[in-house]
Amino acid sequence: CRVCHRADLAGGLHPLSLPGEPAPPDLTVRGPLRRWTLAQFERAMREGRTPDGRRLDREFMPWPAFAGLDDVELESIWLFLVGQAGSDGIE
């Protein structure tokens, strides 16, 4: 996650961005993920579809690599991402 979404997970273009690549979204509590549920996150990682119905572009977000993770693994990623709220002083 930190390669494309940057070390602080705040998104935006990164040093390895390709020409025309969309800016990866903010995965911190300030980003759109804060409005997602675990079930919506799992669907995005398994089916490549966001809660608002957008398709994740496999070229820039390799969601199929996450599709094979089991429920516990995906929930662990989810808990890490949503658990960042207290780590940077954001409540």
- Confidence at residue 29, expressed as pLDDT on a 0 to 100 scale: 86
- Confidence at residue 78, expressed as pLDDT on a 0 to 100 scale: 94
Judge contact between 19 and 59, C-beta under 8 A. no
Cα–Cα dist 81/72, whole Å:
14
Ranges in the chain, pLDDT < 50 = 86, 88-91
Angstrom CA distances, 35 to 12, 19, 45, 82, stand at: 19, 29, 16, 10
Task: Give the mean pLDDT of the chain.
Answer: 89
- Confidence at residue 27, expressed as pLDDT on a 0 to 100 scale: 94
CB within 8 Å of 14: residues ≥ 6 apart: 3, 4, 5, 6, 24
Answer whether 0.95 is exceeded by the pTM.
no
- Confidence at residue 71, expressed as pLDDT on a 0 to 100 scale: 96
